[in-house]
Each structure stands twice: as structure tokens, then as C-alpha cells.
Amino acid sequence: MGEQLEVTVNSTDQKVQCAGVARSNPAIVFDYRPPLGEGEGYTPLELLLMSLAVCSVTTIVYLLRKMKKNITGFNVNAKGARRDTHPTSFEKITL
């Protein structure tokens, strides 16, 4: 088994807002849009979409550099079509 990762997520006093941390990095605020939340942070699905985009960028850049390509920048845009009903999830993701 590979390295085990650990994160901590704590609820705050505001509706459904949470703060998440990993290692000694600054906390990331999670919140939902009104009326469920106050919209004062990223939604969990936004962070999932960002994580997918970051994994794509790092993998592609790593492989291109391994092929001796000079990479000075690389962008990935990610779009996710979200279900309207709970529990929410993505119906489609486009990178």
C-alpha cells in the first residue's frame, strides 16, 4: 500500500460551512450557495473539479518534461454538469 493521506474537516458555526486542512497548510473553507449555505467558500464539487484538473495538469506536464519538452505553462479548464437534486453529483465532466 502507498502513502496514506490524512485530512481534517471541521464544521463552523455557520449553517453548513466547514474548514478543511491537510498537513500544516492553511485551511480551505467549504460552503454551499444560499439558501443552504452563505456562499463564503468553495463547494465540495468545485474542489473535486479543481483536484481533477490539477491531477491532469501535473500528469501531462510531468510526461512532457520526461520527453524533454520545454514546458513553461499549461492550463486545464474543467466544467462539470451538476445534478439538481440531492445528493448532488456530476452528470458530466469536460476537461
Q: What is the pLDDT of residues 37-82, one digit of tens each?
A: 999 999 999 999 999 999 999 999 999 999 999 999 999 999 999 9
Share of residues in the chain with pLDDT > 70 (%): 100
**What are residue 21's DSSP bridge partners?**
8
pTM metric for this prediction: 0.82
Q: The C-alpha cell of 55 is what? A: 491531477
Helix, strand and coil content of the chain, in percent to the nearest 5, comes to: 25, 25, 50
Average pLDDT over residues 13-26: 92
What kind and span of H or E run contains 19? strand 18-22
CB atoms within 10 A of CB 18: 18
Q: What is the pLDDT of residue 50?
A: 95
Does the pLDDT of residue 88 top 90, yes or no?
no
Contact 74, 57 (CB under 8 A): yes
Q: β-pairing, 18-22 with 28-30?
A: antiparallel
